[in-house]
Structure 1
Amino acid sequence: MAVNEFYLGTFIVYLLIVLGIGAWGYTKTTDVADFWVYGKRLGPWLATWSYVANFVSAVSVIGFIGSVYGGGYSILTGIVLGLMLGISALYFVVHKVRELDHVTFPDIIRDLTGREIARPIAAVPLLANAWVYLIMQLVGASLLVTTITGVPYRYMIWVIGFVFVAYTVMGGLVSVAWTDLIQGTVMVTTVLAALVFIIIDQGSLAAINTQFTQLSAANTMPLGDGAYTLLGLAGSLVAFFGTIFTAQGTIIRINATKDIRTAKIHLAFGGLILSVFYSALILLGGGVTVALNNAGLAGFENVDQAFPIFITDYLPTGIGIVVILAVMSAILSTTDTRLHSTGVTTARDIYDWYADDASDQQLMKVSRIATIFWGVTATAMAVNPPGTIITLYTFRAILLTSAFLIPIYLGLYWTGVAGNAIIASIVVGTLLGVGWDLSGGFLGVPATFMGVGGAFVALLIGHLVWSDSGGGRTSVAAGD
């Protein structure tokens, strides 16, 4: 593949800009609170766009369009609906999370259980989720950039990995939030513009959907051509609904806002923007599929290549360059959030538990070292990824929801549940959900149902066992 110097040069300029923002963020990061939660000073505007940018990723742009190319609009029913329902529901409990005034999800779990050991136990599935997310973001970014620039994937993966590790390590959430503001704005605006372009190019939205249906009648069916059974759909909705409630990056952002009102505003407006964005993105996927088929560019095996090929082989160069920047914005804005959360989780929930009374300077150092470690290892794994973007995305949704949805949010409102029962529920839910998914499942039962169901049963049995035997909650000092 020949190197496209124009696209490569634009990409290099983009990387230099985000590195510059990271360097600026470094000068504004004076203590560990700045690095972790922006000193709890996030206002509504910055918080909203940072949340939107954090939410939209390689999965959303490359993975979702690839999924539409391969299986039609059913992804709107099977995944997007669950995500939007999750944001809507989170709005009504966000005040509860913000009132706790903690830094991370394991902080909340420690208070629910009254057990310090809950912090490192909860940190394990959170780190696993973030690490898998990093891998799929790097795969998406590198696949895109390799396709458009001609630089071999094995080299590009390390270039991108180095850049996002560098600017996240420098400024923490300060760097992440400001790069997200820029990237989120570019991303949403560009995807809407791309949809307008493809509608004009193909004649009308009705013309696109007519041709999309002609390619396969299942393309416009809500459940696709057997892609989802009703049971499978229910399992998927629960899985993706649960990821909204249990993502470490979401909890960190809520607690980084300056007050409860800001926390609620950023979710309300963020949810509205994302609803419009995802609707446009799925329709864009249909337009991309039709355009590629009409131009004789279809037929590739890896559906994740659909959008990159559309950019390089179909779009005019000027438009393509803008779209590329939007896609890179989507990818890096989510990647830096997940990477940032790995550093916070490792320092706050594992090292601080182990070291006991670690200084702010030590916690800052560990945060940065951990950020480098998780970033580098994810980059190495992404060189030969273990699955497609959507496969990895589904796996981490099952992991998060199975581990935390039942024990944490039931525990928030069921104040009498035993602390040890919550911990047992987290462990059982994680093992059952992940184990069921990796084994391929049995009898058509979704892995999410096994994980969430197992967590619920473990919580009930654990409460019966420990509620009267000293395994209930105990008071824990809850410092930030």
Structure 2
Amino acid sequence: MNQPVLIIAVNSLALLLTVCFSLWISRRTRTAEGWSVGGRSLPLIVVVLTQFATASGGGMLVAQVGLGYQFGWGVVTYGVFTAGGVLALLFMARWLRQHDFVSLPDIIKKIYGGHRVLMTVVTLMTMVVPFGWLCTQLVAFANLFHQLTGVNSTVLAVAFAIVGLLFVLPGGMTSVAWSDAIFGAFMLLMAFVVGFYALHAAGGWSEVAAAATPARVGWEGFLAPGLLTIGLWAMSLTPGTMTNQMYFQRIYAANTLRTVVWSLIGTAALLLGTKVYASVLGMSAFALNPRLGNPEDAAGTIIAGMPLILSVAYSAFICQTLLSTVTSAVQSVVVNITQDIYKNYTTRDVTSRDILKLSRILSAVVLAVALVLSLAFPSALDWIVSSYAYSAVGLFFPVFLGFVLRRTNLVGPYTGIAGVVAGVLVAGVTQALGTNIPYVAYGLAASAAAMLVTGWLTRSRERVGQDGAVPVG
């Protein structure tokens, strides 16, 4: 059996088995809460692995290995900011657990009240990142597996979307989280195996260290990307992680506060571990071929020399890594549509059964729209990915500064609106001007300043309450 046929057979069997598991575990999903937040009953190991699998995505497969090729241990610096964003959520974990939140806009509503303009803007911004992730993962799968198998990219994208739908449809978060637990465990195993293989192929650590130069393998490697790049990472990755709804949903889904605390610590540790993996792979690829034209070809350098059985296993690693992000992204977007748009704007009484039925229908619709966009405009996906930074500048201070000030008279709906609009607008203008300082810094500063000024100008004693907000229509 040749390699493409074996890859197709092994991945098809693995996906079939996991779909069957998803159908089996979803039997407990009989309510909208089960679909949206896993019935708030997920144990520690499941929460850690689903957070890890969702956070890893396709970036650890190609882009981060490319960074390792360029900067060596500099990828770990990248990971510090991502892990730091995860750990920062501990700051409000207890408060989050005290309320029956389902989505990130629920936090905004609790702090500022239900002003429709604010809720609409925040909901749309919350949806942008997971929808962008969804599109890019579909494209990444189609391109990667076209190279591995020779199958038409469109056929692969359609097939992958159908499989993703089969994962999400039965149980939403329940299906996604428990399936991610399997994916995450396999991803950790493969990262460990491939890391050791890469070192062996490059002649061992001594050979890698000798070839990669001190600028990559010494302590200076952690600063190799440059202070400007590191500053941009600090201002985009940490706030971006802290405003990513998919992380919040898993906090809501955990069975206890203790599970939340340890899951965030465990997730941060695993994310740092994957950056060590990316650094090792990148530096091993540099030792094997120090003259690659494109650093993102570093992963391909390692894969090209793999024995058949390992390359087939690695293909399953790629497939499951991408699928975990796809399913999480679909479920997250659907929760925003059902909970933050449909429930808030419909005039009819909505039951849990209605939301559950609508969630399953919308899963198919969201995946279909993402599939069409990813096939029609694959070259336009860069602007979707860059929206991660805009989501951060628009949501970071309205969520976290709002949380800090929630018991004061500075917090009201116009404070939140000012923070969102100012952050996005200033970031857009400074990006267009091409300033030396990263545009994210300007956006974050403008968001915080706008909130404080607007809060002071519109302060009112009537606004002070349990969470610092009175619902405004």
Q: What letter matches 1:433 in structure 2? A: A
Aligned to 2:83: 84
Closer, same or farther: CA 40–273 of 1 in aligned 2, 3 Å: same
Aligned to 1:288: 285
Give CA-to-partner distance per residue, 1:397-440, whole Å, 9 cap, x none. Answer: 31232011112111111122221202221232233335544x3x
Aligned to 2:453: 461
1:30 deviation in Å?
A: 0.7
SS at match of 2:436: coil
The alignment covers a number of residue pairs equal to: 462
Give CA-to-partner distance per residue, 1:12-63, whole Å, 9 cap, x none. Answer: 2223223223322443321111100111111112111111111111012222
- Mapped to 2, the partners of 1:152 and 1:300 lie a distance apart of 27
**What is the identity percentage for the equivalent residue pairs of Structure 1 and Structure 2?**
20
SS at match of 1:92: helix
Q: What letter matches 1:245 in structure 2? A: M
Closer, same or farther: CA 432–375 of 1 in aligned 2, 3 Å: farther
- Mapped to 2, the partners of 1:48 and 1:68 lie a distance apart of 25
Aligned to 2:470: 475
Aligned to 1:322: 313
Aligned to 1:430: 424
State the TM-score, normalizing by the size of structure 2: 0.89
Closer, same or farther: CA 210–136 of 1 in aligned 2, 3 Å: farther
Matches within 5 A, 1:3-402: 4-69=4-69, 72-77=72-77, 79-117=78-116, 118-213=118-213, 221-224=221-224, 228=226, 230-291=227-288, 293=289, 299=292, 301=294, 303-308=295-300, 310-311=302-303, 313-356=304-347, 357-383=349-375, 384-386=377-379, 393=385, 395-402=386-393
Give CA-to-partner distance per residue, 1:68-126, whole Å, 9 cap, x none. Answer: 3456553433x322102212322233222222331111111001102242332211011
Q: Which runs of 5+ in 2 are unaligned?
A: none
Closer, same or farther: CA 158–400 of 1 in aligned 2, 3 Å: same
- Mapped to 2, the partners of 1:6 and 1:413 lie a distance apart of 55
- Mapped to 2, the partners of 1:435 and 1:325 lie a distance apart of 43
- Mapped to 1, the partners of 2:299 and 2:269 lie a distance apart of 25
CA-atom RMSD, angstroms?
Answer: 2.8
1:342 deviation in Å?
A: 0.4
Give CA-to-partner distance per residue, 1:278-304, whole Å, 9 cap, x none. Answer: 21222122213433x28xxx7565x54
Instruction: Tell me if structure 2 keeps the 8 A contact 1:141–1:331.
Output: yes
Of 397, 413, 418, the match for 1:406: 397
Instruction: Tell me if structure 1 keeps the 8 A contact 2:285–2:301.
Output: no
SS at match of 2:392: helix
Give CA-to-partner distance per residue, 1:185-234, whole Å, 9 cap, x none. Answer: 0001111111111212222223213223399999974444xx54x34422
- Mapped to 2, the partners of 1:468 and 1:289 lie a distance apart of 61
SS at match of 1:258: coil
- Mapped to 2, the partners of 1:245 and 1:53 lie a distance apart of 17
Closer, same or farther: CA 182–68 of 1 in aligned 2, 3 Å: same
Q: Which deviates the most, 360-369 or 99-108?
A: 360-369
Instruction: Tell me if structure 1 keeps the 8 A contact 2:127–2:336.
Output: yes
Q: Which runs of 5+ in 1 are unaligned?
A: none
